[in-house]
Amino acid sequence: MGFPTIRLRRLRQNEALRSLVRETRLSPASLVYPLFVCPGEGVRREVRSMPGVFNLSVDEAVREARQAHSLGILSVILFGLPDKKDEMATGAWADDGIVQRAARALKRELPRLLVLGDVCLCEYMPHGHCGVVRASGPQSLGAAAAAPSSEDYEIVNDASLEILARTAVSLARAGVDVIAPSDMMDGRVGAIRKALDAAGLSHTPILSYAAKFASGFYGPFREAADSTPQFGDRRSYQMDGANLHEAMREMALDIEEGADILMVKPAMPYLDVIAAARERFDLPLAAYQVSGEYAMIEAAARNQWIDRERVLLEALVSIRRAGASIILTYYAKQAARLLG
């Protein structure tokens, strides 16, 4: 039996009907709002490539989080811009690190806000890589040195795990509710889980950037977080965008190591990965609508080529429809307002 008896347009006649039968729904409570925290007071510095996104001092981050929370956004994730950088990423794990200070302030002022802490080393080391770098040739790897070739250095996996684990413990002790490692070193989830448990923080969950792809969509973030690699790229540790099955292996390994939530990054270019992960794994699934996705929508909207509000919601619904129940997005506040 088909047309004219079956008419699918019957359920599209008005907003009340469309809302009644809508299969995929967004909620402000499912959105996580990224905040870039920097030193100083009263600082609200717009990121050139991300209009509407700011580097915020701790006091401004609290104000921004309070506004987001009033809109029904229950979670933020913190990225830090330290006072100084060094080869041991001291700013990442120091008790008075910028994210640690922000976490304490947020939990003091907004105790019901869920605070996630990104765990990576790229913002805290002068070379901008996500792990410890070891020279394999005679050339210096300092910031002032000429750009070395890939044969001149190695991103040292196992030596990075100790610093990542130390950072996770420091953040959790400062009040971060969820630890979110984004470095893509092998074994980082297990190392962090072991360190948290040993520190009496077994209740602290881990949201793993389980399938983080080496993507061209990260450029604006690197400006916002001052984390552009000073030489080479991140392809030796971030995933090849062509590899779906490898992404499933990464996720399975992170589950074995103790991850509580999985994440795919970026979101829209990898909706198939999100869908495959949702089909295969039972853990909560997150996706990151990254800086390049945001910047493209903003650029087109500011040129009046697209309807910003319509497109940002369409993009977020596509991520939710693919299977992600948690979405990290710079559009969290705008989306929350639109969702009412």
β-strand pairing of 44-47 with 50-56: antiparallel
| Residue 265 a catalytic site member | yes
**Contact assessment for residue 129 and residue 182, using Cβ atoms and an 8 Å cutoff:** no
Beta bridge partners of 285: 262
CA angle in degrees (0–180, nearest 5) for 171-104-263: 45
> Pick from 221, 215, 209: which is nearest to 295 by CA?
221
CA 155/CA 137 separation, integer angstroms: 13
Beta bridge partners of 263: 286
| Residue 194 a catalytic site member | no
- Give how far the C-alpha of residue 126 lies from the chain's centroid of Cα atoms, to the nearest Å: 21
Residue type for position 196:
L
β-strand pairing of 114-119 with 44-47: unpaired
Q: Which of 107, 194, 212, 333 is catalytic?
A: 212
Conformational region of residue 290, where left means phi above 0, alpha means psi within -120 to 50, and beta covers everything else: beta
Q: How many CA atoms lie within 13 A of 251 on its CB side?
A: 27
CA angle in degrees (0–180, nearest 5) for 165-170-174: 150
CA 302/CA 311 separation, integer angstroms: 13
Q: Which of 84, 85, 107, 265 is catalytic?
A: 265
CA 295/CA 317 separation, integer angstroms: 18
Crossing angle of helices 308-322/332-339, nearest 10°? 90
CA 291/CA 177 separation, integer angstroms: 24
- How far CA 55 is from CA of 47, 135, 259, in Å, comes to 7, 32, 29
Sign (positive or negative) of CA dihedral 272, 273, 279, 283: negative
Catalytic residues: 212, 265
